[in-house]
Amino acid sequence: MIAHELPSSPARSTGPALPRLLSAFDEQSGGATRLITHRRTYPPPPAPRRHPAESYIAAIEKAGLRGRGGAGFPTGRKLRSVSEGQGRRVVVVNGSEGEPASGKDQLLLTRAPHLILDGALLAATAIGGREVFVGVERGKVDALRAIHHAIAERVHAREPMVPVRVVELPARYLSGEESALVHLINGGEAKPTLTPPRPYQRGVGGGPTLIDNVETLCHLAQIVQWGPVWFRDQGTVDEPGTMLLTLSGAVGRRGVCEIPIGMSLATILASSRPKAGGISAVLLGGYYGTWLSAADARVATMDNATLRRMGSGLGCGAIIALPSGACGLSETARVLTWLAGQTAGQCGPCVHGLAAIAGGMRDLAAGTASLRTLESLHRWGDQVEGRGACSFPDGAVRLLRSALKVFDNDVAHHVSHGPCVAAAHPPVLPIPAVEVASWR
Amino acid sequence: MAVSFRLRVDMIACDGRGLCADLLPERIRLDDWGYPMIDPTSVSGPVLEHARRAVAACPVLALKLDAIKGS
Ligand SMILES: Cc1cc2nc3c(=O)[nH]c(=O)nc-3n(C[C@H](O)[C@H](O)[C@H](O)COP(=O)(O)O)c2cc1C
Ligand code: SF4
Ligand code: SF4
């Protein structure tokens, strides 16, 4: 393995305090940061090489960066596994963001495309990668335009780089699942495939493939620029750095913000101007996430170590505040119905199980469910969990279980007395219009 | 080092008609929709023979028997 040195004299000796990622935005133009502006802070990534760069991998390991796509897997470990694989190694930037309650990746794509591309090209340097793919949903025209334009700027400036290809993804929840992404790039449908082999073993073109979330790669670029010690100035020891959140629901200030990992959820909610009536529960991690009771939300901090103890997790950083007066069961029933429709339709327990769960939840929300329906819901959750080829159905089961737990009083009331007044509350959680999108 | 085996199903390939559960009730039950739920404990001894028969009988080759390293 050939050792490369990290850039020896960074443009600045120390990086931004807070915000970090959002500091890469061009506040004057309000649009995508142009290459010449970006290059005042970030030097161009080194020319492509075929061999992994140990110093880059070591820096990311030392920084302790974890993936921001939802699973929180250590990025350094993934870089190392891919770099040790045999074959033509490539990088895939996951900009799918199929999560309806999340907007941070799209924001990064439209405002800081060069930070993403730097991160992807530096990751390619780290693993000795030969090509970069950037996956973006077909309908997200602003993001697509920004990333295409950013690539063109680099070509025009004659920056040395491996080929960078933009891949348009079907607008489906499953498009962001890593094996589905690989399958699509390989010329197939955007449906998950049987694993193992996982993409880091055998992915695009059969070669070891690094798949990272858009935000993860932005952090990676900043770590290369300012170093692991700077990175660890924010966040917790186990989960260092900052993260982007997407706030919505019963708050006045919606949208994307950047916090140090480990920040108090109560502080975040208080500073986002909660609506007068108050908040009855919080959905963390979007539709692949879990409900948190108002009591837990008061003491929670935004790190997985704490949230896992509450049966929850950061996920992709989407936070939806449920207003008091809305019905958590009706909201969950709508989301589960939409999720059931997002199945790739390949595995029996996912297809039939999610449909059954969604149906049971709708009955519960409508007040027509019996104790037997409730029993079935629990049994179906147990029968579906871990039984798909991918973990998509597991997310739906987690959401179901958290709803039954957090809204247990409402469950009892709906079963014995029918729906509460809250069931008539207008819908809070956004449900995308279901189009008949193709799988390619 | 002794070798033992574990059953696994390729859920994408499986058609859910439940033939395997008929042949190997010791290790395979069906869920509410007729898809096999596999007991994850390792397979050995006389059950191994039944397991091999179930694997061979699966019409879509969805049922697999993986060798696992044991001590
Ligand atoms: C159903 C499903 C949907 C997913 N959608 C996305 C997505 O839209 N964006 C994303 O970055 N990761 C998504 N993931 C996670 C990816 O499979 C993968 O773990 C991630 O892109 C890895 O990047 P990271 O380590 O930087 O987080 C999804 C996973 C599943 C199971
Ligand atoms: S579990 Fe569901 S989403 Fe995943 S591959 Fe199977 S059918 Fe598709
Ligand atoms: S015999 Fe094969 S296809 Fe039939 S249920 Fe069993 S694993 Fe599935």
Atom of ligand 3 nearest to the CA of B18: 5
> What pLDDT, on a 0 to 100 scale, did the predictor assign at position A422?
79
Residue whose C-alpha is closest to residue A439's, from A84, A222, A169 = A169
Angstrom distance (rounded) from CA A164 to CA A297: 42
CA distance A157 to A166: 19
Give the structural domain span for A47: 10-231
- A168 and A83 in a common domain: yes
Place of tokens 């297809």: A351
Of A347, A379, A380, the CB nearest to B11: A347
- Any idea which ligand is nearest the CA of B9? 3
For residue B71, the model assigns a pLDDT of: 43
Whether the bond into A427 is cis, omega within 30 of 0: no
Q: 10 Å Cβ neighbour count for A408?
A: 11
What's the average model confidence in pLDDT over B9-30?
Answer: 95
Domains of chain A: total: 3
Q: Which helix (H) or strand (E) holds B66?
A: strand B63-69
To test the ligand 1 pocket, which listed residue (A178, A198, A210) has its Cβ within 8 A of the most ligand atoms? A178
Q: Are residues A249 and A220 in the same domain?
A: no
Secondary-structure class of domain B3-69 per CATH: alpha beta
What tokens does A100 get? 């309806």
The answer as to whether A439 is a domain residue is no
**For position A40, which CATH number holds?**
3.40.50.11540
Q: Are residues A33 and A105 in the same domain?
A: yes
Give the CA distances from residue A22 to residues A61, A247, A418, in Å, rounded to whole numbers and listed in that order.
23, 16, 47
Phi, psi of A309 (to 5 degrees): -65, -25
Asked, for residue A436, whether it belongs to a domain, the answer is no
Q: Of A199, A231, A263, which residue sits at a domain end? A: A231
* A205-221 pLDDT, tens digit each: 999 999 999 999 999 99
> Which residue's CA is minimally distant from atom 4 of ligand 2?
A390
Q: Which of ligand 1's atoms lies nearest the C-alpha of A180? A: 17
Cβ-defined contact of A380 to B32 (cutoff 8 Å): yes
The type of residue at A325 is G
Cα(A140)–Cα(A103) distance, integer angstroms: 11
> pLDDT tens across A308-338, in order?
999 999 999 999 999 998 999 999 999 999 9
**Number of Cβ atoms within 10 Å of the Cβ of A88:** 16
Say whether both A224 and A341 belong to one domain: no
Question: Using the beta-carbon criterion (under 8 Å), do A383 and B32 form an inter-chain contact?
Answer: yes
Confidence of residue B1 (pLDDT cuts 50, 70, 90): low
Query: Can you list the alpha helix ranges (DSSP code H) found in A2-138?
Result: 35-38, 54-63, 75-84, 104-111, 113-127
Domain boundary among A323, A353, A370: A323
Closest partner residue to B35 among A194, A348, A379, by Cβ? Answer: A348
Nearest CB to A194: which of B12, B33, B35? B12
Share of chain A above pLDDT 70, in %: 97
For A133, the enclosing helix (H) or strand (E) is: strand A131-137
CATH value at residue A278:
3.10.20.600
Q: What is the CATH number of the domain that holds A372?
A: 1.20.1440.230
Task: Please give the average pLDDT of every successive group of 10 residues along chain A, which has 440 residues.
Answer: 50 80 93 96 94 96 97 97 97 97 98 98 98 96 98 97 97 96 98 94 97 98 97 97 96 95 96 88 96 96 97 96 94 97 96 98 95 97 97 98 96 89 85 81
Q: Residue length, chain A?
A: 440
Residue A5 is assigned to a structural domain of this protein: no
pLDDT for res A334: 97
A227 with A292, same domain: the answer is: no
Cα angle for residues A192, B68, B57 (degrees, 5° grid): 65
Q: Is residue A440 part of a domain?
A: no
| pLDDT on residue B68 | 86
Q: Which two tokens stand for residue A7?
A: 């850039």
The number of the ligand nearest the C-alpha atom of B55 reads 3
Rounded-to-integer distance, Cα A244 and Cα A21, Å: 8
For ligand 2, mutation pick of A172, A173, A174 (most atoms within 8 Å of CB): A174
To 10 degrees, what angle do helices A371-384 and A392-406 make?
A: 150
Cβ atoms of A346 and A389 closer than 8 Å: yes
Are A351 and A204 within one domain?
A: no
> A393: cis peptide before it, omega within 30°?
no
Integer Rg of chain B from CA = 12
Where do the H-state alpha helices sit in A201-273? Answer: 214-231, 265-270
